[in-house]
């Protein structure tokens, strides 16, 4: 059968549950924490993994299996595994692929909590995502190494040139792990570009409705089996209800991401032409620092953007306080547009000089564009900037 396109997979992929006449179109939530057996023989075989079946909630669950199968299909992966959160997925992949003594190399442009999770394991070599020479040099030391990157970063939406990074990692015998949360599988499929594993905070676009916290790793079957064995011992499983909500949200992934990406492109163009805006960061703009990588790697520019208002912190706070459609809130990837001020939230511990060095000026605002009417969002920002 020919491979279906991503928008179709987002609706239909996964285990459809019951078959036969009158089968439900929507799968139930499989809340059972334990499963029973008709015979001791079945019981012992399932326990020994020599016969397929569910046994106990920390080992496998049909609702999380359904979500994992859908994400694997969208990412073009052999298999996937769900986790209790995006950070649980990050932690598991590092435990499995970067045991103590592994040199971790990463672009500087990374999710803040991921930076601390990497650092907790030992020294990390950070380089600018465009500085391939520095990344190659950091990978070239003796011993095992791992390269960790995000397809599109937050808040600057810096795009990693994944084919180039995969080549650098593999030349050093290191795996490339990619966080594809911001780009989504509709914007990019990192495994097609040479990544060895791809992960998501499914809390964001995959769920899309800001009502569940979840993580997923998609990878070759052999790696997913190692992650499963790790999860049996660490226990960071996703609850069935949360898995069901994420799978339900994913059915509209295509609609949401295509809409929000087009809206973000329109808003980015509008803001770039605005007299009170100094800079806009969005991969759709020719002025974007990683516009080249975006052309190679992204099928959609995405729904996240950042912009710097003239007038520093006071002006940024005035815009934040002036919006009436955008929500003042953290996180991204929901149907609702959220606006945040990195200098007073995610980066609040940095001094003014440190903020400037991190490329987060005090006037920078981040927008996660949702599914409202784009004209209302433009009006909202326009009014707040005035
Ligand atoms: C939110 C986020 C995470 C962490 O995911 P949680 O589900 O909040 O644990 C990791 N990476 C990126 C890029 C994120 O946006």
Q: What is the pLDDT of residues 103-158, one digit of tens each?
A: 999 999 899 899 999 999 989 999 999 999 999 999 998 889 999 999 999 999 99
Q: Could you tell me the distance, in angstroms and rounded to a whole number, from the CA of residue 251 to the centre of ligand 1?
A: 21
Q: What is the pLDDT of residue 351?
A: 81
pLDDT-based confidence at residue 14 (cuts at 50, 70, 90): confident
- Taking a C-beta distance cutoff of 8 angstroms, is the pair 220, 201 a contact? no
pLDDT over 80 (residue 2): no
Q: What is the pLDDT of residue 45?
A: 96
Give the DSSP H or E segment for 199.
Answer: strand 197-201
Q: What is the pLDDT of residue 359?
A: 85
pLDDT over 70 (residue 264): yes
Q: Could you tell me the distance, in angstroms and rounded to a whole number, from the CA of residue 109 to the centre of ligand 1?
A: 14
CB of residue 179 inside a 6 A radius of ligand 1: yes
CB of residue 334 inside a 6 A radius of ligand 1: no
Strands 176-179 and 145-150, by their bridges, are: parallel
Q: What is the pLDDT of residue 16?
A: 60
pLDDT digits (tens, 9 = 90+) for 291-347: 999 999 999 999 999 999 999 999 999 999 999 999 999 999 999 999 999 988 888
- For residues 244-258, give the mean pLDDT: 98
Q: Could you tell me the distance, in angstroms and rounded to a whole number, from the CA of residue 257 to the centre of ligand 1?
A: 17
N-term to C-term CA, the chain = 55
Q: What is the pLDDT of residue 74?
A: 97
Strands 364-368 and 304-309, by their bridges, are: antiparallel
Give the residue, out of 89, 109, 118, 181, with the most ligand 1 atoms within 8 A of its beta carbon, to mutate for a pocket test. 181
Catalytic positions = 58, 111, 179, 204
Tell me what percent of the residues of the chain surpass a pLDDT of 90: 88
Q: What is the pLDDT of residue 17?
A: 66
11's tokens = 């609706």
CB of residue 182 inside a 6 A radius of ligand 1: yes
Q: Could you tell me the distance, in angstroms and rounded to a whole number, from the CA of residue 201 to the centre of ligand 1?
A: 4
CB of residue 86 inside a 6 A radius of ligand 1: yes
Q: Could you tell me the distance, in angstroms and rounded to a whole number, from the CA of residue 19 to the centre of ligand 1?
A: 35
Q: Give residue for tokens 């290191």.
A: 174
pLDDT over 80 (residue 19): no
CB of residue 215 inside a 6 A radius of ligand 1: yes
CB of residue 150 inside a 6 A radius of ligand 1: yes
Q: Could you tell me the distance, in angstroms and rounded to a whole number, from the CA of residue 150 to the centre of ligand 1?
A: 11
CB of residue 181 inside a 6 A radius of ligand 1: yes
> Which atom from ligand 1 is nearest to the alpha carbon of 90?
10
- For residues 241-267, give the mean pLDDT: 98
Which residues contact residue 362 at a Cβ distance below 8 angstroms, ignoring those fewer than 6 apart?
A: 312, 313, 316, 343, 352, 355
Give the residue, out of 82, 151, 204, with the most ligand 1 atoms within 8 A of its beta carbon, to mutate for a pocket test. 204
Give the sheet arrangement for strand 176-179, strand by strand: 79-83, 215-219, 197-201, 176-179, 145-150, 103-107, 124-127
> Which atom from ligand 1 is nearest to the alpha carbon of 332?
15
Give the DSSP H or E segment for 309.
Answer: strand 304-309
> Which atom from ligand 1 is nearest to the alpha carbon of 89?
9
Q: What is the CA radius of gyration of the chain?
A: 22
pLDDT digits (tens, 9 = 90+) for 161-177: 999 999 999 999 999 99
- Taking a C-beta distance cutoff of 8 angstroms, is the pair 311, 323 a contact? no
pTM score, whole prediction:
0.96
């Amino acid at each position: 059968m020919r491979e279906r396109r991503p928008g179709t997979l987002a609706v239909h992929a996964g285990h459809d549950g019951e078959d036969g006449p009158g089968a439900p179109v929507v799968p139930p939530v499989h809340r059972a924490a334990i499963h029973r057996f008709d015979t001791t023989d079945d019981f012992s075989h399932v326990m020994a993994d020599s016969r397929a079946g569910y046994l106990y909630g920390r080992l496998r669950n049909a609702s999380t299996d359904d979500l994992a199968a859908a994400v694997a299909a969208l990412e073009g992966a052999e298999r996937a595994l769900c986790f209790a959160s995006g950070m649980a997925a990050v932690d598991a992949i590092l435990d499995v692929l970067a045991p103590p003594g592994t040199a971790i190399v990463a672009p500087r442009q990374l999710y803040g909590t991921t930076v601390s999770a990497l650092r907790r394991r030992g020294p990390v070599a950070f380089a600018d995502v465009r500085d391939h020479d520095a990344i190659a040099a950091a990978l070239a030391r003796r011993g095992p190494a791992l390269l960790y990157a995000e397809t599109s970063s937050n808040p600057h939406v810096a795009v990693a040139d994944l084919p180039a990074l995969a080549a650098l990692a593999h030349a050093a015998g290191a795996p490339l792990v990619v966080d594809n949360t911001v780009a989504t599988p509709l914007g990019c499929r990192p495994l097609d570009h040479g990544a060895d594993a791809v992960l998501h905070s499914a809390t964001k676009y995959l769920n899309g409705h800001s009502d569940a916290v979840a993580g997923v790793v998609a990878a070759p079957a052999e790696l997913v089996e190692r992650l499963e064995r790790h999860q049996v011992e660490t226990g960071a499983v996703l609850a069935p209800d949360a898995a069901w909500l994420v799978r339900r949200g994913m059915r509209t992934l295509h609609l949401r991401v295509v809409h929000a990406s087009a809206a973000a492109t329109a808003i980015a163009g509008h803001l770039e032409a605005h007299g009170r805006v100094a800079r806009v960061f969005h991969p759709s703009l020719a002025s974007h620092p990683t516009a080249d990588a975006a052309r190679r790697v992204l099928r959609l520019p995405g729904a996240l953007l950042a912009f710097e208002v003239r007038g520093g912190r006071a002006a940024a706070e005035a815009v934040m306080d002036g919006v009436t459609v955008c929500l003042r809130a953290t996180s991204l990837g929901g149907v609702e547009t959220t606006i945040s001020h990195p200098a007073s939230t995610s980066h609040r511990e940095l001094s003014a000089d440190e903020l400037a060095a991190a490329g987060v000026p005090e006037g920078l605002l981040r927008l996660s564009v949702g599914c409202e009417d784009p004209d209302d969002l433009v009006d909202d920002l326009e009014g707040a900037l005035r």
